[in-house]
């Protein structure tokens, strides 16, 4: 594999990691919204962090 192929592979791997992180944050937020009334303070904080991460990546689930 040439230099271009390696660089392209690095970009694809990076994008896949970004998509996985966005997907994980989206699931955390959705799970929180399903049971918001029963959520603990730690779950609320985690959901808020997930929401902020999503907004930074132009993914607003609200």
**Residue 57 located in a structural domain:** yes
3-state secondary structure of 39: coil
Distance CA 39, CA 10 (A): 38
- pLDDT tens digits, one per residue of 18-45: 888 989 999 999 999 999 999 999 999 9
**Residue 59 located in a structural domain:** yes
- Checking if the pLDDT of 10 tops 80, the result is no
- At 48, list the tokens: 């808020």
pTM of the model: 0.70
pLDDT of residue 34: 93
pLDDT of residue 49: 94
Terminus-to-terminus CA distance in the chain, angstroms? Answer: 43
**Residue 6 located in a structural domain:** no
- Residue range 4-27: average pLDDT? 81
* Domain hosting residue 44, numbered range: 16-62
**Residue 5 located in a structural domain:** no
- Checking if the pLDDT of 7 tops 90, the result is no
């Amino acid at each position: 594999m040439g230099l271009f192929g390696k660089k392209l592979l690095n970009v694809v791997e990076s994008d896949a990691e970004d998509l996985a992180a966005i997907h994980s944050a989206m699931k955390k937020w959705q799970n929180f919204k399903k049971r918001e009334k029963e959520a603990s303070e730690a779950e609320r904080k985690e959901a808020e962090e997930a929401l902020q991460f999503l907004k930074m990546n132009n993914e607003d689930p609200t």
